[in-house]
Structure 1
């Protein structure tokens, strides 16, 4: 089962969680088409808002694809994919950097996020999910 990280500002993540959807790569459909029902996505937010946002550098949501195909509400709107989200709390990335397999160079850990959406392996997914849901279990 594929696991992905989707880099999205926190304000856009919140809209997606509230609306039960995700977007990727500024509303383009190609990455959404690569996702399948049941795929997991962890959302990483470098900033609180796309424009003029403050630095956040945290994982902000976890969702599972529920829709079969990307969709647009109107032809001029961005492409979306239906998702259901797990209850979780925003979790800073820095305490996890030394444990994440996808971080090849800790000095340049942010580079990978510049691609928008990328695949990760299950151990990284489980580590991040555990960190994001740990406070809820307490």
Structure 2
């Protein structure tokens, strides 16, 4: 990763635990773009979920698919980092949403760790999140609270 917003394990000690953590849902392709550019964008650029997060919160991207609209399933945790600003901001560029027109999306800055993706099936037995019945149903909201212990488990599992 070449992004100036990427952080190494030295910048974020293995023992450092955020007070809160979040799981955002986007395709792996969109997660890759966000990691390269150092931001979080959810729910087609809407502000409401981004405003729930605070500076220093842990953040993980979960990607059900490789590309938006794909029928094939990926089901992987594709990025992990820490929220690095105080408020959502409007992006400079315009996003074209097909029949819905063009929008300027809301974003948050994130300092992403240099990690590898890990499949859900490789860690689901270790996560509190996945122990709840029908846990995946909540992912349709685009952002869900993630137990802080799960953030640590994922950080370890995704270590390069």
TM-score by length of 1: 0.88
CA distance in 1, matches of 2:110, 2:126: 27
The aligned counterpart of 1:79 is 106
Structure 1 residue runs without a partner (length 5+): none
Shift of 1:42: 0.7
Q: In the alignment, does 2:147 pair up with 1:117?
A: no
CA distance in 1, matches of 2:91, 2:42: 15
The alpha-carbon distance between structure 1 residues 73 and 120, as it changes in their structure 2 partners (threshold 3 A), is: closer
Task: Report the count of equivalent residues.
Answer: 132
Greater shift after overlay, 95-104 or 39-48?
Answer: 95-104
The alpha-carbon distance between structure 1 residues 22 and 53, as it changes in their structure 2 partners (threshold 3 A), is: farther
The aligned counterpart of 1:22 is 40
Shift of 1:111: 2.0
CA distance in 2, matches of 1:91, 1:113: 18
Q: Which aligned segments of 4 or more residues in structure 1 are displaced greater than 6 angstroms?
A: none
Structure 2 residue runs without a partner (length 5+): 1-18, 95-102
Pairs within 5 Å for 1:118-133: 118-133=144-159
Q: Which has the higher helix share?
A: 1
Shift of 1:21: 0.5
Please give the per-residue CA displacement for 1:18-61, whole angstroms capped at 9, x wherever unaligned. 11101112210011111111111011000001123631100000
Out of 31, 47, 51, the residue aligned to residue 13 of structure 1 is 31
Q: In the alignment, does 2:54 pair up with 1:39?
A: no
- Output the aligned Cα RMSD: 1.6
